[in-house]
Structure 1
């Protein structure tokens, strides 16, 4: 197996500590260097993963250590310059979701990758959830007919409450570094799903508010609605919901698909039947979920697999989808501020 040398630029996104072990499980992958301005995080990388080439600045890391790719787990604003610097040095990059803090920042990242002919992948944790993967496949294949509405609802009680470190929630709660609060952090999932399945909507409506947390610096709840001539998609986010909720609903003219905590449920009426408070006519069926194939079981595996085989990243994880998702989010923020619909 050809060796794959990996760098890590940014350690303040807590997801990094879950992804690095997945990289280590891939034959031939070696983590050869890391960069972060926080000394305790660099020390953690050294102790837990044996990385000795450590730097404060990503640019110094890229100049001093030869590698094949980089995992970017910085704040969303810092990720823009990191990807630009990596692309300029010929490094392929995997960025933990979402792509950036603003549509402008995402466009700079995409432009840099295109200019230097490097590859850029955006990692979405839901892309490796079998129930979500199958739901997206069925919706796109027309298994429930024309999908006229979808709801992607992502919620928990908040990053700090969820046990995130101060390194992580410190920038999540900073609109300059994150772009907003819950709207960017959690509406991003719905924005990516709608962009992957149907491209950018014609118009976007958005609302971001601090509805429950007192003296909170950013929005703790948000909605982003994509509007097409024949479809609406609601991306709903909350940092105050108890208990958590991370599921998707697709409404089609021939049936409904709903993920329910790792399961996928299909309901529909039979031909010539009408369902009106008719629980006996729902024809509720749990869909059997196949195992995800090798190369598509988690983000690190997919990144390395696609680079080694020169295959395209799956649609949900492409830079094109990541950019479109960021444009949808930015349009949602503009809509919230203006009170009007906005074209992404």
Structure 2
């Protein structure tokens, strides 16, 4: 009889464990002013996570989203504290100002609630370091979401670099990101109000798009800290961006490589692309799915291969499915993965140095 009781108990434990692993992660959406929030509502993989509540004090804005995505306004709460008290989310995703990120971590981490923020991690290195300390103390996952994290071309290039034979040792990386500018592309008024504010966004194009290049470079170099950072910024659209820069060029030096980050709200055509130069050839990520490989054959001759890549496999094709997978322990975040805290702390170090460089008109040397 004892043996049977033990067996039945074991079956109950195993069944509960399996059920717990497949139960969707309860996620709260914090803010609706960042229009990247459409991403979470448009995810088609809701079996992995469930949106249990939304924090947005602007009821007119919340109603627009409720009408578009057919959710009840009963899901919308005035504050993060209210959402946590009533819905007890396991995790939250932040879609408000970048300045809000610190407060969200300060509120959620002590309660064991995991956090994913939209890029960049913080408005400043000071905020970022506080967030890291709090997240580590309370042992929560603190991830940063970038659009380019989910690009098949970037992952293909990363894997080819690690082979170290196709294009040879790296010598130069150029990353270009941006668009015509927030006002020109017609972002929502609620988004525009803080995206062009130096306090709430931490800067202009240098923050909004400079972070992409710093994030990819930190990943590619496996967390190498640049030796130096030199940056210039300009304001080419003072009528549209009166408080912040809208053009930034950041030059980075490493032990055996240089890098250029071009972050701009002045591109005539929106872009997120990268060029990786080795001793023997070049890898081009032209966009999310299209890439080229050129191998040198002499002075200016080369052979070229073009390819269009399929989307990545789940959970690496959706930030919120990925987040849920990390929380459940199914996916491990490597130290300098694109979403990782260590990567994005270094991103903030690079951006902090770039902002200081542009203001002082001098090169900033980072400590090692």
Do the structures match in fold with TM over 0.5?
yes
Q: CA deviation at 1:63?
A: 2.8
Matching residue within 278, 292, 301 for 1:252: 278
Q: Which moved more, 1:202-211 or 1:325-334?
A: 202-211
Candidates 137, 140, 144, aligned match of 2:167:
144
Give the aligned CA root-mean-square deviation in angstroms: 1.8
Q: CA shift at 1:227, angstroms?
A: 1.2
Structure 1 match to 2:254: 228
* Over 6 Å off, 4+ runs: none
Q: 1:330 to 1:257 in 2, by over 3 A?
A: same
Corresponding residue number in structure 2 for 1:160 = 183
Query: Residue 180 and residue 323 in structure 1: after superposition, are their counterparts in 2 closer, same or farther (change >3 A)?
Result: same
In 2, the alpha carbon distance for the partners of 1:89 and 1:286 equals: 49
Partner of 1:289: 309
Shift of 1:76: 0.6
Give 1:245 shift: 2.4
Q: How do 1:99-118 residues align onto structure 2 when only pairs under 5 Å count?
A: 99-118=121-140
Considering only CA atoms, is the larger Rg found in Structure 1 or Structure 2?
2
5 Å-filtered alignment, 1:60-139, equals 60-139=82-161
Give CA-to-partner distance per residue, 1:209-266, whole Å, 9 cap, x none.
Answer: 1024446221110012221121111111111111222210001001101122331100
Cα distance in structure 2, aligned partners of 1:214 and 1:139: 42
| Corresponding residue SS for 2:332 | coil
Structure 1 residue 28 displacement after superposition: 4.8
Cα distance in structure 2, aligned partners of 1:162 and 1:298: 25
CA distance in 2 between counterparts of 1:214 and 1:44 reads 29
Cα contact 1:59–1:82 (8 A) shared by 2: no
Alignment of 1:44-59 (within 5 A): 44-47=64-67, 48-51=69-72, 52-59=74-81
Per-residue CA distance 1:288-342 (angstroms, 9 max, x = gap): 5354121101211211122223422360111111111011101100011112221
Distance 1:243 1:80 in 2: 33
Alignment of 1:290-329 (within 5 A): 290-313=310-333, 315-329=337-351
| Structure 1 stretches lacking a partner, 5+ long | none
Shifted more, 29-38 versus 42-51: the winner is 42-51
Q: How many angstroms apart in 2 are the aligned matches of 1:45 and 1:91?
A: 25
Q: Which residue of 1 aligns with 2:47?
A: 27
**3-state SS of the aligned residue for 1:207?**
strand
Q: Secondary structure at the match of 2:274?
A: strand
1:49 to partner: Cα distance: 4.9
Q: Comparing 300-309 with 282-291, which one deviates more in the overlay?
A: 282-291
Partner of 1:186: 209
State the match for 1:267 in structure 2.
294
